[in-house]
Structure 1
Amino acid sequence: MEILSPQNARVKEWALLLEKKHRDKQHKYLIEGIHLVQEALRSGADIECICYEKENGIPAELSSAAAARLDVNWIAVSEAVIAKCSDTKTPQPVFAVLRKADEQVQMKSLLNKDRSLVVVLDGVQDPGNVGTIIRTADAVGADGIIVGSGSADIYSPKVIRSTMGSLFHLPILRSQLSEILPQAKEQGIRLAGTSLQAAVNCYEYDFTGPVWLLFGSEGGGLSEEVRALMDDGLIIPMRGQAESLNVAMAASVLLYEGLRQRYFN
């Protein structure tokens, strides 16, 4: 199959996915580039179609997947179609349209998981920070990420690029934190977050039980509503003169301490 005109109705529908309101409406999103498409294929993501530049054909790195994934619709498209569906100045030769996962099923699994280690984002707005936190959570083997309102959209092109494919390796769910966090507490899950008023050094805290780590906005930290639900305040010790750590770096410190205690203690 091939689609060469950027005025094609399907192409117009794909291009709309560059905007959040249309991603939410269609329950779909775009990914761009060979690496991200490879990761989506390897991870068994729900792919509607993969579009590649007709002139160059299916990229060699994806040719074996093209033969194996019979459930995926592969479409040859023109450079003009690729340009219309990209938010970058130099578009990649391949992009894919994916369907979003069933978040309710995944949320239930997270709440019931034994000794879960989960990241909760409360108004983290910078796409680069959100993407870095997702990559770090993937690296340490965290069980999932919950994204509250006010945070960057996890399906925006900038966030997806900065995850480097980690988006497909663990559940990333959007939720109202005022609803899901009390449910977690009822399950015996501890809610911990960084706090300048905290009495507990993060290296003395017990990360071996079920714990969800709360991270707030770059400017204001956790919202009052979420801070009120927090069980344990943690402080990251600093010997130098820096006032604070970037939220993605703070998340990395706590997640790696959790990894150390769970697997290398």
Structure 2
Amino acid sequence: MEIMSLQNTRVKEWAGLQEKKHRDRSGKYIVEGVHLVQEALQAEADVECLAYDLDKGMPAELKGLLQAVQGMEVIGVSAAIIAKCSTTNTPQPVFAIVRKELRGVEAVLAKPDSFVIVLDGVQDPGNVGTIIRSADAAGADGVILGQGCADVYNPKTIRSTMGSLFHLPVVEGDLGEILPQARERGALLVSTSLQGAESCYAHDFRGSQWLLIGSEGQGISPATAQLVDKSILIPMAGRAESLNAAMAATILLFEGMRQRGM
């Protein structure tokens, strides 16, 4: 199948997925570039269709994956359509439309000794994506996004995950409901604070631990802070006042990984 017109209704629908309201309404999102499309196909994500630049041809990295995917349309399009549907200045010659998976928190809660990162009001899509990538790298069991976080399906968030979005559960939900359930199942709820009582290197990360990361400016919300069991400190030798959310999360995740013997 081929589509060449920018006025085609499907092209307009694809381009609309750059906006959250259209992603929410359709239950779909767009994944751009060879690497991310490859990750989506390898993870058996629910890919509705794959569009590629007809003039450049199907990228070699994807050819071998296409036979294994059932029920996915493959559509040749013009470079102009690729550009219209892309959020980058130099669009890659392929994108995919993926249906959202309704991921419940139960899969994360059910894991014994779960190691989870929880985001509370982290608004920067690059930070949210980087934290998902770090959680994947450190062998975490999931990432929970509370209200006020950047949309996980924002194209910038997806790019920042570098495909890790497809490797572990990423769940959006109400922390006021989720965190008490986690504690009931034995999780220790730990946040970072400049006033933390203990260094993150002295803290024992073994057992079920849910690490809370707050917004870049305000930290975790007062409501979330009331649910926290322990606050720890990332010690700093230099003069920087604080670390960005993704850096702080990564330090905690990797110290946790080291101690847990992953």
Q: 2:205 aligns with which of 204, 207, 210?
A: 207
Residue 229 of structure 1 aligns to a residue whose secondary structure is coil
Q: 2:169 aligns with which of 165, 168, 171?
A: 171
Aligned twin of 1:72 = 72
CA deviations on 1:231-264 (whole Å, 9 max, x unpaired) are: 1101111222222111111111110111001116
Displacement of 1:53 in angstroms is: 0.8
Residue 233 of structure 1 aligns to a residue whose secondary structure is strand
Aligned twin of 2:14 = 14
- TM-score, reference length from structure 1: 0.96
Aligned twin of 1:246 = 244
Residue 67 of structure 2 aligns to a residue whose secondary structure is helix
Letter in 2 for 1:152: A
Aligned twin of 2:181 = 183
User: Is 1:25 matched with 2:47?
Assistant: no
Aligned twin of 1:60 = 60
Residue 89 of structure 1 aligns to a residue whose secondary structure is coil
Q: How does 1:54-203 map to 2 (within 5 A)?
A: 54-104=54-104, 107-203=105-201
CA deviations on 1:37-65 (whole Å, 9 max, x unpaired) are: 01111111111110001112211111111
5+ residue gaps, structure 1: none
For 2:102 and 2:7, locate their aligned partners in 1 and report how far apart those are by CA, in whole Å: 31
Percent identity, please.
60
Q: How many corresponding residue pairs?
A: 262
User: Is 1:50 matched with 2:58?
Assistant: no
CA deviations on 1:193-232 (whole Å, 9 max, x unpaired) are: 1022221221121211111110000001000010010011
Letter in 2 for 1:100: K
Displacement of 1:12 in angstroms is: 1.2
- TM-score, reference length from structure 2: 0.97
Displacement of 1:88 in angstroms is: 1.7
User: Is 1:237 matched with 2:239?
Assistant: no
CA deviations on 1:13-40 (whole Å, 9 max, x unpaired) are: 1111110011111111001000100111
Residue 103 of structure 1 aligns to a residue whose secondary structure is coil
For 2:205 and 2:45, locate their aligned partners in 1 and report how far apart those are by CA, in whole Å: 30
Letter in 2 for 1:256: F
User: Is 1:36 matched with 2:40?
Assistant: no
* Aligned-pair Cα RMSD in Å: 1.1
When structure 1 is superposed on structure 2, of 242-251 and 216-225 the one drifting more is 242-251
For 2:218 and 2:69, locate their aligned partners in 1 and report how far apart those are by CA, in whole Å: 45
For 1:25 and 1:68, locate their aligned partners in 2 and report how far apart those are by CA, in whole Å: 29
Displacement of 1:124 in angstroms is: 0.6
For 1:206 and 1:88, locate their aligned partners in 2 and report how far apart those are by CA, in whole Å: 42
For 1:199 and 1:90, locate their aligned partners in 2 and report how far apart those are by CA, in whole Å: 47
Aligned twin of 1:227 = 225
Letter in 1 for 2:97: V
Displacement of 1:170 in angstroms is: 0.7
For 1:100 and 1:63, locate their aligned partners in 2 and report how far apart those are by CA, in whole Å: 24
For 1:53 and 1:14, locate their aligned partners in 2 and report how far apart those are by CA, in whole Å: 15
For 1:238 and 1:53, locate their aligned partners in 2 and report how far apart those are by CA, in whole Å: 49
For 1:249 and 1:76, locate their aligned partners in 2 and report how far apart those are by CA, in whole Å: 40
Structure 1 stretches (4+) deviating beyond 6 angstroms?
none
